[in-house]
Amino acid sequence: MSSKTLTRLFASLLALAISQATAAFSIPPPDVKAEGYILIDVQGGDVLAEKNADKPLEPASLTKIMTAYVVFHELKEGNIKLQDLATISEAAWRTGGSKMFVEVGKQVSIEDLIMGMVIQSGNDASLALAEHIGGNMGTFARLMNEHAKRLGMTNSNFLNPEGLPEPNHLTTARDLAKLTAAMIREFPEYYAWFAIKEFTYHGITQPNRNNLLWKDPSVDGVKTGHTEAAGYCLVASSKREDTRLVSVLLGAKSIKQRESESQALLNYGFNFFENSKVLAANQPAGKATLWKGEKATVDAGVAKDLLVTLPRRQKKKLETVLKLADHIEAPITKGTAVGEIEVMIDGKLVKTAPLIALEDVKEGGIFTRMADGLILWFKK
């Protein structure tokens, strides 16, 4: 065997080895010390790491993320305004735990109460907001649970707005991730308050308890929590370039641990994953056969950008499979479901999305309808 042949053989074997190593390349998540956690990409909704993500656990002050969601929804609907004044009840004033230090009988603006809740983690501010919106804590808790149901938080049950321990006041890491992602998407103008590092009310300045705001400039929220039963909890959100990740960590042993483990999760996500746009919104992905129409086909695509979060160096392995309905009759309107698109990596299904008609198509003439009707009759 010539030296040139040996060189080529060696190069081929080396290329094969590199290819196999790359195919097998997968970095597991860090060994996170917590009762439960999850890491998600907000845009694509992909889960990058998880442990006990569906285990119902006490959320402590992470409850205030749901309270904030309800308040932001009421603001957006115009049911309340930031300048509105809420009268502080004795129940709100007496609420234990972390406080904004509002005074009984005083009137405080909704905006100040929100600041006191999201920055200072004031239990008194949370109850004052709940009473102002719902009339009482029970009605507000029902509002919380209605929103939770609508958001697909299937393992959550809220009984109060501040997160003090009550039997059956529970949620999960996955549900909190869904909630946080929804809040960021729906209320970006209000979400910005979670990045504020301190707030002064009644001459008392208190810092935000989320210390990652100081340690990682890409972190802009969200909320800490702690009770003896719940342990130390943290929902953190970080945006680097065009990618936003949310980590939810429940049941750490200390403040330091919840910060270091949350930071490790975020770094893992940014270092080893990347977003890929599989298909842009309203871009034709294929043509679905159309019967009895003025056109024989209709363009099919997705209603919003189809994004997938992939391990780095895996983008070249991404494939798509179109599954189009075989019996679509005109007339058809833009937005009608006509099938689905599957996203595969190495033959493994990683995501599906509905395909819709990207255009209106009217009925064809009488001869087209008759001819297509006859063909469909024989096909049946």
Whether 52 contacts 36, CB under 8 Å: yes
Other Cβ atoms within 10 Å of 245 Cβ, number: 25
Q: At what angle do helices 63-77 and 137-150 cross, to 10 degrees?
A: 90
Other Cβ atoms within 10 Å of 190 Cβ, number: 19
Whether 61 contacts 224, CB under 8 Å: yes
What gap in Å lies between CA 18 and CA 12, rounded to an integer? 10
Catalytic site residue from 61, 89, 156, 262: 61
Q: Which residues of 20-36 are buried (b: 16+ CB within 10 A; e: fewer)?
A: eeeeeeeeebeebbbbb
Catalytic site residue from 64, 99, 292, 351: 64
Q: Look up 64 and say whether it is catalytic.
A: yes
**Count of alpha carbons within 13 Å of 72, Cβ hemisphere only?**
25
Q: Look up 61 and say whether it is catalytic.
A: yes
What gap in Å lies between CA 47 and CA 322, rounded to an integer? 23
Going from the C-alpha of 255 to that of each of 33, 94, 210, 224, 265, the distances in angstroms are: 12, 26, 10, 9, 16
> What are φ and ψ of residue 48, in 5° steps?
-100, -25
Catalytic site residue from 89, 98, 99, 121: 121
Tokens of 284: 């034709």
What gap in Å lies between CA 189 and CA 287, rounded to an integer? 40
- Give the catalytic positions in this structure: 61, 64, 121
